[in-house]
Structure 1
Amino acid sequence: MTALLQYERLEASGLWRAAPGEQRREVIVSLGDASLTITDMQDRALTHWSLAALERANPGETPAIYHPDGDPGETLELSADATEMLEAIERLHRVIERRRPKPGRLRLILTLSAAAVIAALAFLWMPGALLRHTVSVIPDVKRTEIGEALLSRITRVSGQPCSDRYAQSALEAMSQRLLGNREALVVLPGGVQETAHLPGGTILMNRALVEDFEDADVPAGYVIAEALRADRRDPLETLLQSAGFWSSLRLLTRGELTPETLDAQAERILTAPSADIPDAELVAAFTKAKLRTTPYAFARDVSGESVLGLIEADPYPDGSDSAVLSDSNWIRLQTICGG
């Protein structure tokens, strides 16, 4: 051990006892390469002690008493006069201790590392897991309640839903035809750009969709596209994803969302752009609804260039045998906002 070389062959006198009850003997103590050699006065070796296994029985007291680790009965006393020997033993013992493996420290490091990994996993996994669980257990009646609360906030900006008495039956007929629910569609005088969807199944339509086109297949196409967006990602999940962990926890444990959370989501609904849907999914949804894609496509782009895939893949190019609305109902629906 290089750190010990400066103390090689350092000697001092001391008193050694081989076992409890035996008489102490005057000996010569020699500091060698990481060991103590104890010899009698005739230079005959009595024992060797490893510095790594050396213990001091009375730290800070004199005379200093040492013994081998695990054998306190065999002792060596060094008086205060053996200053250099005492300093050498203490210094070399500290060097050895620093180099000695620390199982306790290793266990602590491993424990802290494991705790950090668990905490990181909990931090990353728990919010998503809680969100998914909350979405899976919230009943339809609560979803509808949340949707109604959002609608009440949206109408502060958009104005109250259009509800002409004669046109309302036409809107219900379209809702039943496309969504299987007579109360799923709501026409607003403003606010939403085209369409939007709420938890509970409600789809919002801007009045322009029923007033600015001559073909009922146009607003019907926008409704089908918006319903597909709601199917692709649960609107309640979208709300909770934006609102954060505590909103999921509050809804799960207390069955409610804060007014601030609802206000923020209502604003997002009014301002967020509609998510794009691949043409193949749109065509499949229109096919299932027995609806042409061409009127919807040209309503989105009058040139047809960006929606060519929808035009070419129209499942009913010659028209569907299942009309969205009768001519009379379509005329009524176009006046739902008093237009």
Structure 2
Amino acid sequence: MTALTEFRRLEAQGTWKESPTATAREVIVSIGEATLTLMDPKTDRPLSHWSLPAVVRLNPGKLPARYTPTSGPPDETVEIDDPLMVDGIERVQTAIARHRVKPGRLRGVLTGLVMLGLVGAFIMWLPDALIRHAVRIAPPAQLRTIGKAVLADLEQGTGPICHRNSGQQVLNWITPRLLNRDALVQVVPGPLNGALRLPGQMYLLGNDLLASTTGPEAAAGHLIAAEIAQDEQQVTQQALEYAGAFASLRLMTLGTLPRNALAGYGEQLLDQPLQRPDADALPAAFADHDLSTEPYARSLDPTGASVLSLIERDPMRDTDGGRPLLTDEQWLALQQICAG
């Protein structure tokens, strides 16, 4: 395939947005045999891998060309104004498509044999392997899409996300300090008894936690605990195990899950206890954020009897308490996030 050889490792500058609300950042875009790789120009660290056959151009004929990795909603995008790179992407896509549809009896026989082998492997081993592989290779935009699908199902039991702008602005402001700049924290009106981590760096708080505490420290503690209790791969694998192997295969090939693949998963999450981390890991994690463990501990057990170790090992116990997480005005706005 001449086009693949001609444009292999072609590189150009681009402007990448991981999500519609993310800050645009400069990246290096590189063409591989069947992939489009987006890298950090300072470290050469890969930020995202796109399957070239699935890449969709959102503005044909215009520059800068704007691309998204799948035919679904354009959460992740990159803009490229290098005509050579734009031409290279189109020609490589054309070459791949032409190569894939080339007819031939031998290819048909081989395809049939491969399919038979895959069916046998699928019965014995493939489902778990497919799910694990889908989790490993899913880019951030796909993980966020899975998280949104889980959230949509969860909302049937908790009520819709609280959207009062002043409260969400407070969450968006404090989240990078507690978690990371890519995390998204939202509040649901229904009770959660803590914080719930979803795929795609998404976290949920129940309004019950905001209403029953005198300050933001308990909610902040639950977010840190949720981050420690399960990592991104664990929460994503649990969701895809529920969706099934065929859903994971579709995710890898088409970039989207089947509709209703996660129907009922939200109810399952609400029915089971929240994942809690080992208490021994919490004091050090809270210390990294200048945060007391006592408000978090008291929210779990107001008497303190079952969480005494967290209270006694409070990293802020012999200090002045550190800088406040929020001002009184910010805390009031956060408490009223579900007010309308």
Q: Note the C-alpha offset of 1:321.
A: 2.2
CA displacement 1:50-98 (0-9 Å, x = unmatched): xxxxxxxxxxxxxxxxxxxxxxxxxxxxxxxxxxxxxxxxxxxxxxxxx
1:283 counterpart = 2:277: no
What whole-Å deviation, never above 9, does each CA across 1:157-202 have from its counterpart, x for those lacking one?
3222222233232222222321233861101111634321211111
Considering only aligned residues, what root-mean-square deviation do their CA atoms show, in Å? Answer: 2.6
Structure 2: 5+ residue stretches without partners: 1-118
Task: Find the counterpart in structure 2 of residue 337 from structure 1.
Answer: 338
Structure 2: how far apart are the matches of 1:212 and 1:190? 13
CA offset at residue 223 of structure 1?
1.0
**2:171 aligned with 1:171, yes or no?**
yes
Matches within 5 A, 1:1-339: 125-181=125-181, 184-190=184-190, 192-231=192-231, 234-317=234-317, 318-338=319-339
Q: Quote the offset at 1:311 in angstroms.
A: 1.1
Query: How far apart, CA to CA, are the structure 2 residues paired with 1:215 and 1:182?
Result: 24
Q: Secondary structure at the match of 1:263?
A: coil
Cα–Cα, structure 1 residues 305 and 258, in superposed 2: closer, same or farther, change >3 Å? same
Structure-2 change in CA distance of 1:253 and 1:232 (3 Å)? closer
Question: What is the distance in 1 between the residues matched to 2:175 and 2:161?
Answer: 15
Higher relative contact order (CA 8 A, sep 6+): 2
Structure 2: how far apart are the matches of 1:275 and 1:167? 26
Equivalent position SS for 2:314: coil
2:69 equivalent in structure 1: none
Q: Could you tell me how far 1:132 is from its partner in structure 2?
A: 2.2
Q: Is the 2:217–2:295 contact (alpha carbons within 8 Å) kept by the matching residues of 1?
A: yes
Q: Which amino acid aligns with 1:327?
A: D
Structure 1 residue 248 displacement after superposition: 2.4
CA contact (8 A) 1:157 1:191 kept: no
Structure 2: how far apart are the matches of 1:289 and 1:190? 28
User: Conserved in 2, the CA contact under 8 Å of 1:175 and 1:185?
Assistant: yes
The 1:214–1:191 alpha-carbon spacing in structure 2 relative to 1, beyond 3 Å, is closer
Shift of residue 288 of structure 1? 2.1
AA at the equivalent of 1:134 = A
Letter paired with 2:331:
W
Structure 1 residues 167 and 272: CA distance shift in structure 2, 3 A: same
Whole-Å separation in 2 of the counterparts to 1:201 and 1:334: 23
Task: Confirm or deny: 8 A CA contact 2:153 2:264 kept in the other structure.
Answer: no
5+ residue gaps, structure 1, are 1-118
Q: Residues of 2 paired with 1:168 and 1:137: CA distance?
A: 31
How far apart are the structure 2 equivalents of 1:294 and 1:132?
38
Alpha-carbon spacing, 1:319–1:310, altered in 2? closer, same or farther (3 Å):
farther
1:335 aligned partner, one-letter code: Q
Q: Which amino acid aligns with 1:323?
A: P
| Percent of aligned pairs with the same amino acid | 33
Deviates more, 1:220-229 or 1:244-253: 244-253
SS at match of 1:260: coil
Cα 1:219/1:235, change in 2 over 3 Å: same
Q: Secondary structure at the match of 1:205?
A: strand
Deviates further, 265-274 or 242-251: 242-251
2:152 partner letter: S
Aligned residues: 221
The 3-state SS of whatever aligns with 2:325 is coil
Larger mean CA deviation between 128-137 and 229-238 belongs to 229-238
Amino acid at match of 1:289: H
CA distance in 2, matches of 1:276, 1:195: 10
Instruction: State whether residues 292 and 319 of structure 1, in contact with CA within 8 Å, keep that contact through their aligned partners in structure 2.
Output: no
Tell me, yes or no, if the aligned pair for 2:193 and 2:209 is still in contact at 8 Å. Answer: no
Asked if the contact 2:172–2:185 (Cα under 8 Å) also holds between the matched residues in 1, the reply is yes
- With normalisation by structure 1, the TM-score equals 0.59
Contact 1:177 1:324 in 2 (8 A): no
TM-score, normalized by length of structure 2? 0.59
Match of 2:60 in 1: none
